[in-house]
Each structure stands twice: as structure tokens, then as C-alpha cells.
């Protein structure tokens, strides 16, 4: 299921040059700018090594900055990218929802509740 949904997201997001994990980090920082790596890792549910690898790529792309270390902040360029991506991200979500339909969505909600409890 993870690969199927990742492929759907990739189809819509590939023109933007960011991965699903990187986009998740950008979304989080767009809402809660100025987080430590530990906070960001906990919110994104990413292992330390995965977070570090993705942050290096985002810093190199100029989308996040560590100038106020230990806090990580999204740059203006990162905010612009998030705003550009949102319509395509919504299209990917709509495609996934349409494939799952009512019963599939309910099952997914149930699984998510169980995994997070």
C-alpha cells in the first residue's frame, strides 16, 4: 500500500524535485517554523538518519535554513514551493481517496487509529 500511494504522490510531485518525506518536512515547518531536529523528527515520525539526510537536501536546495541552529526554519523559497505544491498534493490525495472509496477510507482510519494508540 505504501508503494502504491508513494507512486501516486510521485506522479504529481516529481516536477517539484522533492520527495514525499521532504515535502512532509516542508509542510511541518510551514506550520510550525523554528523546530529542533528532535522536535521535527518526532512530529514527522522519521528516524534521525532519515531526517538528517532529507534536511541536507532541503538546505542544499535553499528550502530550509539552519542559520538559527539548533532551530530549523523554512525559507521564503521553501514557503513558495509549499504554496505551489499544495494543489498537486490535493490532486494526489483526491486520486487516493477515489481509489479507496468509502469502505477503504473507513478501514484506513481504523488502521491509523490502532497504530497511533
| pLDDT mean over 96-109 | 84
C-alpha cell belonging to residue 5: 500511494
What CATH number has the domain bearing residue 76?
A: 1.10.10.10
| Percent share of the chain, pLDDT over 90 | 64
Peptide bond into 113 cis (omega under 30): no
Peptide bond into 25 cis (omega under 30): no
If pLDDT is split at 50, 70 and 90, which confidence band does 4 have? confident
| pLDDT mean over 29-39 | 92
Domain count within the chain: 1
Show the domain range for 96.
2-116
Write down the residue that cell numbers 534521525 correspond to.
Answer: 48
8-20 pLDDT, tens per residue? 999 999 999 998 8
DSSP-based helix, strand, coil % in the chain, nearest 5: 75, 5, 20
Amino acid at each position: 500500500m505504501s508503494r502504491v500511494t508513494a507512486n501516486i504522490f510521485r506522479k504529481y510531485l516529481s516536477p517539484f524535485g522533492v520527495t514525499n518525506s521532504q515535502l512532509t518536512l516542508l509542510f511541518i515547518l510551514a506550520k510550525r517554523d523554528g523546530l529542533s531536529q528532535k522536535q521535527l523528527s518526532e512530529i514527522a515520525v522519521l528516524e534521525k538518519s532519515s531526517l538528517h539526510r532529507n534536511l541536507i537536501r532541503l538546505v542544499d536546495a535553499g528550502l530550509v535554513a539552519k542559520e538559527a541552529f539548533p532551530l530549523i526554519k523554512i525559507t521564503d523559497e521553501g514557503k513558495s514551493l509549499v504554496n505551489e505544491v499544495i494543489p498537486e498534493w490535493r490532486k494526489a490525495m483526491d486520486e487516493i481517496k477515489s481509489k479507496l472509496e468509502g469502505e477503504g477510507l473507513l478501514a484506513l482510519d481504523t488502521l491509523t487509529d490502532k497504530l497511533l494508540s
